[in-house]
Structure 1
Amino acid sequence: MLVLRSSAASPFGRKVKIAAHVLGLMDRLQIVDADTMNPEDNIRQQNPLGKIPALVLENGETLYDSRVIVEYLDVLAGGERLFPAGEARFTALRDQALADGIMDAALLQVYEGRFRPEDKHEPKWVGHQAGKVERGLAHAETHLSAPAGDLHVGHIALACALGYLDLRFAGRWRETHPKLVAWLADFEARVPAYARTRVTA
């Protein structure tokens, strides 16, 4: 049995879970919550960075981060399911990188609010991260909002990024990105795992 160390709200963990559903591998995956802030949690032994998600293999070795884990699962499922062959692979990887960057910048804004007192928040830092999110969304609205053809890892990552913005930023992105709203509705209709992995708090 493969063991996925993650947390319910992690957008990167959600990306792995959705990929596992799409690839038909959920029956081989045990999900174990990790508390990255707890020094007693063995996530720090499994991944020296103490970050999630991490995938513990049956031989005891661990893979991290989500990009590596999803590609491993794709190979386990026969290959070229979420990572197409040829030049199309680089389009999928680029789209994943954009979505992962949106998630990273959103998480940093959340952490600023969670771990620093309000009077010590750094507006320039928060604004810098918010700018990354907005530019990423603007690019996705223009270039990535057509209904997906063959599903690839970039689509899953983008859906998780938008879902995280719904969760932590009250879905404000929806007011100014109507094409992405329609795109996400289409993705959710096609990928039941998106609803199954949604958290609301």
Structure 2
Amino acid sequence: MQLFHSHFSPFVRKVMVVAHELGLADRIELLPSAVHPMKRDQSVLAKHPLAQVPTLIDDAGTAIADSRVICEYLDDLGGNRLFPAAGADRWRALNEQSLADGVLDAALLIRYELTARQEGERSAAWIDGQTAKIASALGWFEGTARSFAGRVDIGTIAVASALGYLDLRFGDLAWRDRHPALAAWYAGFAERPSMLASQPPAG
């Protein structure tokens, strides 16, 4: 398998954490990409019309995009261990993944606003609106953090990937100061071999 990736993409990190947890990381060849919100990477576009990362090319040559779909595909290959099969546990994990991905969507929109637009084109109201989404989601995670204990599934992996990206790009949020239960859980989860192996470069 091949994966179009960026070392700094939190969605790529989520995929790679899943791959490591399932023992599939050694089967994935990482392909460089230069995906940008306003400049499409032609090498990725040649494989998938959305030209986004992560995009996985499976062993049959089929392109699979969107981290949620890729993670579920890998879980199917790896024995269905990270997506609960049915019932309340499944919906809990999927809901956590959706919320964590929403945090990342908001964070990336802020990032693009600050880096892809000229200063005079940026919208403070837009940035404030996305920041508010992150804040309310973190408050929700704080209230449910005790339920994360002992769990390694797509929900907790997605939450950890989101928190890791906030540390990487939004250190000034100081989210730990307001969310001690979440911080305590993340401190332990971040030491998992899968998290350490997928950690992006500093910067």
Give the TM-score normalised by the residue count of structure 2: 0.93
Q: Structure 1: any 5+ residue segments left out of the alignment?
A: none
**Is the 2:148–2:156 Cα contact (8 Å) retained in structure 1?**
no
Q: Which amino acid aligns with 2:150?
A: G
Offset of residue 147 of structure 1: 4.3
Post-superposition Cα deviations, 1:15-63, rounded to whole Å, max 9, x if no partner, equal: 0000000000011111112111354531112221111101001111111
Q: Which residue of structure 1 aligns with residue 10 of structure 2?
A: 11
Alignment of 1:53-72 (within 5 A): 53-72=54-73
Q: Which residue of 2 aligns with 1:95?
A: 96
Q: Contact conserved, 1:98 with 1:136, CA < 8 A, in 2?
A: yes
Amino acid at match of 1:11: P
Judge which range, 2-11 or 30-39, deviates more. Answer: 30-39
Distance 1:40 1:85 in 2: 36
- Contact 2:40–2:51 at 8 Å: present in 1 too? no
Closer/same/farther in 2, CA of residues 39 and 103 from structure 1, 3 Å limit: closer
What per-residue deviation string (whole Å, max 9, x for no partner) do you get for residues 146-188 of structure 1?
A: 4423311010000010000000011621221111111111212
Runs of 4+ displaced beyond 2 Å: 37-41, 144-150
- Supply the AA of the counterpart residue of 1:36: V
User: In the aligned structure 2, how far is the partner of 1:17 from the partner of 1:4?
Assistant: 10
Percent identical residues? 42
SS at match of 1:74: helix
Report the residue type matching 2:185 in the other structure. Answer: W
CA spacing shift, 1:197–1:70, aligned 2, 3 Å: same
Do 1:34 and 1:41's aligned partners in 2 also have CA atoms closer than 8 Å?
no
Q: Is the 8 A contact 1:3 1:29 kept in 2?
A: yes
**Is 1:177 aligned to 2:173, yes or no?**
no
**Alignment-mate amino acid for residue 23 of structure 1:** L
Change (3 A) 1:174 1:97: same
Count of residue pairs brought into register by the alignment: 198
The aligned amino acid for 2:178 is T
TM-score (norm 1): 0.94
Look up the match of 2:188. 186
Rate the CA distance shift 1:142–1:40 in 2: closer, same or farther, 3 A. closer
Q: Which amino acid aligns with 1:14?
A: R
Deviation at 1:117, TM superposition (A): 1.3
Letter in 2 for 1:35: A
Residue 26 of structure 1 aligns with which residue? Answer: 25
Checking the alignment, whether the CA contact within 8 Å between 2:82 and 2:152 is kept in structure 1 is yes
